[in-house]
Amino acid sequence: MKKLIIPLIIFLMLVSGCSHATEIEGKKDARGTKKLHIVTTFYPMYYFAKKVAGNLADVDLLIPNGVEPHDWEPTAKDMAIIQDSDVFIYNSRYFETWTEKVLNSIDRSNLKIVEASKGIELIDGISEEGENHKENTASKDPHVWLSPVLASQEVDNITKALEQKDPKNKEQYEKNAAVFKSQLADLDRLYKKTINEAKKKEFVTQHAAFGYLAKQYGITQIPIAGLSPDVEPSLSKLTELTELMKKKNIKVIYFEGLVSSKVAQTLANEIGAKTEVLNPLEGLTKEDQKKGLDYIGVMKKNLDALKLSLY
């Protein structure tokens, strides 16, 4: 992570924060009461918060859709937006690695901070060399939102925080959350049924983002690279994967829409396989947005894509 120049940032926060606070203060609901202002880091957090909050809050997305979030860092303006909000929601310190430093640099006295993955047992990360099933004690895999079951736990954490910050609307938050968790339960059942009927149990990805989904449904992710999507594997690792895929007759390699598919395409060309998108939902692509897709829609598309490997 690039070094944050804290004194300058704090100065700029004071300037930009004042104007932002004035803007937020004017946002009220139909009854004339001030709405909660919620700031979320990236798309799944934004989507989950919107589902729980409904029309009771204004929810902002900090990392724009279409931007790869692993290497994104907040500007002074972003930090001011966080400070001036009522609730700040992020997934995990292992994903938004800048959060601790930022939160220690701002006034948090009126800010409810939500680490949505809190209480979820995180699995060890895949090494950046792409070595499968090796522990990396320096990091944990943060991609819990890709399991509908764990996503539901994140929704619980978000709901609890909103109820604490805005207790008068507790009942409505609980109703909204219940409706959304019912949709997640339907998604879970669809994944279970589809994968239980599959003949194969392995799939190859360019980015090791699908460990929780694989664990949830009893399938195996074979990643080309580790948790960072832009890290390229060594030549020896590519050779090893080529031999493995030939042996297992794997014909599909998955890549994601926000980063280059070069590595996946190189390996696919080597063994005569094809490439397909498996979306880690770290941000909606322009194509997703044009199609009106949301978290549920993309997760269903992912399941259809997985069927190409598992059936």
15-40 pLDDT tens trace: 444 434 333 343 555 555 689 999 99
At residue 235, the pLDDT reads 79
Q: Where in the chain is the domain with CATH 3.40.50.1980?
A: 6-186, 197-310
Rounded CA-CA distance 250/163 in Å is 48
Out of 73-87, 139-153, 204-218, 237-251, least confident range: 237-251
Rounded CA-CA distance 125/132 in Å is 10
Cβ burial of 135 (10 Å; 0-12, 13-18, 19+) is exposed
Q: Please check the confidence at residue 128 and state whether its pLDDT lies above 50.
A: no
- Domain 197-310 sits in CATH at 3.40.50.1980
**Residue predicted with more confidence, 246 or 133:** 246
Rounded CA-CA distance 311/95 in Å is 32
At residue 8, the pLDDT reads 42
Residues 6-186: name the CATH superfamily. Nitrogenase molybdenum iron protein domain (3.40.50.1980)
Rounded CA-CA distance 142/48 in Å is 16
CA distance to 127, 241, 261, per residue, from 207 (Å): 11, 14, 10
Q: Please check the confidence at residue 89 and state whether its pLDDT lies above 50.
A: yes
What mean pLDDT is predicted for residues 165-169?
98
At residue 279, the pLDDT reads 94
Q: Please check the confidence at residue 137 and state whether its pLDDT lies above 50.
A: no
Q: Mind listing the pLDDT tens digit for each residue in 59-83? A: 999 999 888 898 899 999 999 999 9
Mean pLDDT over each residue of the chain, to the nearest integer: 86
Q: Please check the confidence at residue 190 and state whether its pLDDT lies above 50.
A: yes
Q: Please check the confidence at residue 2 and state whether its pLDDT lies above 50.
A: no
At residue 230, the pLDDT reads 56
At residue 27, the pLDDT reads 55
Q: Mind listing the pLDDT tens digit for each residue in 196-224? A: 999 999 999 988 899 999 999 999 999 98
Q: What is the pTM of this model?
A: 0.85
Share of the chain above pLDDT 70, in %: 82
- Token reading at 259: 């980063």
Highest-pLDDT range among 69-83, 176-190, 270-284: 176-190
**Residue predicted with more confidence, 135 or 174:** 174
Rounded CA-CA distance 146/21 in Å is 34
Rounded CA-CA distance 30/7 in Å is 40
